[in-house]
Amino acid sequence: MSNKIKVGIIGGAGYTGGELIRLLVNHPSVNIQFIHSSSNAGNNLCEVHTDLIGDTDLKFTNELNDDIQVLFMCVGHDDARKFLSANSIKDSIKIIDLSQDFRLANSSSLDNRTFVYGLPELNKKAIVSANNIANPGCFATAIQLGLLPLAKAGLLANIYTTGITGSTGAGQSLSASTHFSWRANNISAYKTLQHQHCNEIHQSLHQLQATFPCLYPFGSVGGNGWRRETLGAG
């Protein structure tokens, strides 16, 4: 137990938090110290994440414990920065943020913390020594893995990309386009040419190829599936 990494999770009741818990709860090198959720404090994890029945007896809490080595932020966009601004986290604690708050270079710092963009295929060396990591977005990860080899070779020209996401990509908040009757046997475009992941994709490609004619359009599409497979918030 003493050799295990002590981990805390903020925002553990959402879809991203649930995926992270599933990865960590039985990990041989991790000990989850607490899972924070202001709306579910005191409830068993299994009441929210029913697929964890039999795997853990942990309960959600609304209290913080600084006896950890790594803190995962699984809250919504803009909420990670707000949470870290409002709560004092020891400098010795490493932070991995799964929102978009710190992905771009011009917004990657908060007080004495600076976040490294956490795509291993691009920033492996920086990630190894980083104390703060901004996890890439889901669309951004998939698109970059396809385009970065071209950028490294200086071959990027006019590019068109389309990404299809499942309903969990929109989070737990209800809307007309997340209902089964809308999604079943259907795909529909949203945030066309202005998806929030465009900027981080553009930033990464420019690390490897200084100039290229045009990256976009990027067509983001809501699909007939339910699950988003990459562990990064939208």
DSSP category for residue 140: H
| CA angle in degrees (0–180, nearest 5) for 51-54-58 | 90
- The dihedrals phi and psi of 181, each to the nearest 5 degrees, come to -65, -25
Residues forming the active site: 138
Instruction: Quote the CA–CA distance of 22 and 74 in Å, as a whole number.
Output: 13
Neighbours of 197 (CB within 10 A): 24
Token pair recorded at residue 228:
């988003």
- Residue 13 makes CB contacts below 8 A (sequence gap 6+) with 37, 39, 40, 48, 60
Between the CA of residue 52 and those of 12, 56, 110, what are the distances in Å? 13, 7, 34
